[in-house]
Amino acid sequence: MSTPLEHRYDFVYFFDVTDGNPNGDPDAGNLPRIDPETNQGLVTDVCLKRKIRNYVAETHSEGPGHRIYIREKAVLNSEHNEAYVAVGLKSEKKALPKAEADAKRVTDWMCANFFDIRTFGAVMTTEVNAGQVRGPLQLTFSRSIDPVITAEFAITRCAVTNEKDVEKERTIGRKFNVPYGLYRCYGFINATLAGKTGFGEDDLALLRDALNNMFETDRSAARGMMAPVRCIAFKHESKTGNARADQLFSLVDATLKPELKSEQRPPRSRADYDITLAGPAPEGVTVEEWV
């Protein structure tokens, strides 16, 4: 069993994209997500969680306790029923066991066996009710440091689907692109909630590994070149924290280098930015570099 987590963590995670679409918006024809008021690029928390899940599934598929609950074509009721069978109980439609201890056994089994439940939490109140879990790790939307330009390109397909279409013109499609964007995301790890779900030091180590390597197992032509840039974490001495997260995050700054401002050209690589930590952390807080 993993060593229980004894410290709260808050972290700032930077990643970038070059010539790719980091997170398409299905409501906008899969265009890269942007803030319509500032034109800053956006990447949802769900997008990053998916990459973390996929990384864990690929690297720890055989390891106990590292199954992934939210995955493609997963049948959630069947997974919930596994928990009831494992703890020797029979499920009732849409209801948890009446005895609180029995209900806890079902939910605890789900946490112990599924990495993403004990990390992100889950609402498991389907026909086979396995309860609700509030996860210790929460992520915000990622936002680009500067406005991004979204480019659109026409692409063609020379093949056809049916024989009757052989003489027709080539099919035209669209592809979207962000030339470059440096994105900033905030993360929070609640040690008290970690104690309830079983998220421990081993899980924290795996999370850090995922933040460093998850783009390597998620390559596609559409996403271009995505990579982690830096992750600055604040470790609190206590479970409840020794400083407010917003105060800690304000110490981390990402700015364009002076020469870019004087040249008035847009950023095109991480080398165009300075990521700095302004001053020491407050008492009871230490700084760690995760990426």
Residue 1 pLDDT class (50, 70, 90 cuts): low
H/E stretch holding 206: helix 201-213
Per-residue model confidence (pLDDT) at position 240: 94
C-alpha distances in angstroms, 73 versus 2, 46, 76, 79, 121?
29, 17, 9, 12, 19
- Using the predicted structure, report yes or no on whether residue 169 has a pLDDT greater than 80: no
Residue 89 pLDDT class (50, 70, 90 cuts): very high
Per-residue model confidence (pLDDT) at position 88: 97
- Using the predicted structure, report yes or no on whether residue 167 has a pLDDT greater than 80: no
Biggest CA pair distance of the chain:
74
The model's pLDDT over 119-128, given as tens digits with 9 standing for 90+, comes to 999 999 999 9
Per-residue model confidence (pLDDT) at position 117: 98
Between CA 135 and CA 246 the distance in angstroms is: 20
Q: Which residue has the higher pLDDT, 285 or 264?
A: 285
- Using the predicted structure, report yes or no on whether residue 161 has a pLDDT greater than 90: no
The model's pLDDT over 39-74, given as tens digits with 9 standing for 90+, comes to 999 999 999 999 999 999 999 977 789 999 999 999
Mean pLDDT score, 182-192: 98
Per-residue model confidence (pLDDT) at position 203: 97
Q: Which of 116, 148, 155 is nearest to 133 (CA)?
A: 116
The answer to whether 170 and 157 are in contact (CB under 8 A) is yes
The radius of gyration computed from the CA coordinates of the chain, to the nearest angstrom, equals 22
Between CA 280 and CA 248 the distance in angstroms is: 10
User: What percent of the chain is predicted at pLDDT more than 70?
Assistant: 99
The model's pLDDT over 190-207, given as tens digits with 9 standing for 90+, comes to 999 999 999 999 999 999
- Using the predicted structure, report yes or no on whether residue 224 has a pLDDT greater than 90: yes
Q: Which residue has the higher pLDDT, 2 or 220?
A: 220
Q: At what angle do helices 45-59 and 201-213 cross, to 10 degrees?
A: 110
Residue 155 pLDDT class (50, 70, 90 cuts): confident
Per-residue model confidence (pLDDT) at position 164: 80
User: What percent of the chain is predicted at pLDDT more than 90?
Assistant: 86
The model's pLDDT over 248-281, given as tens digits with 9 standing for 90+, comes to 999 999 999 998 877 888 999 999 999 999 989 9
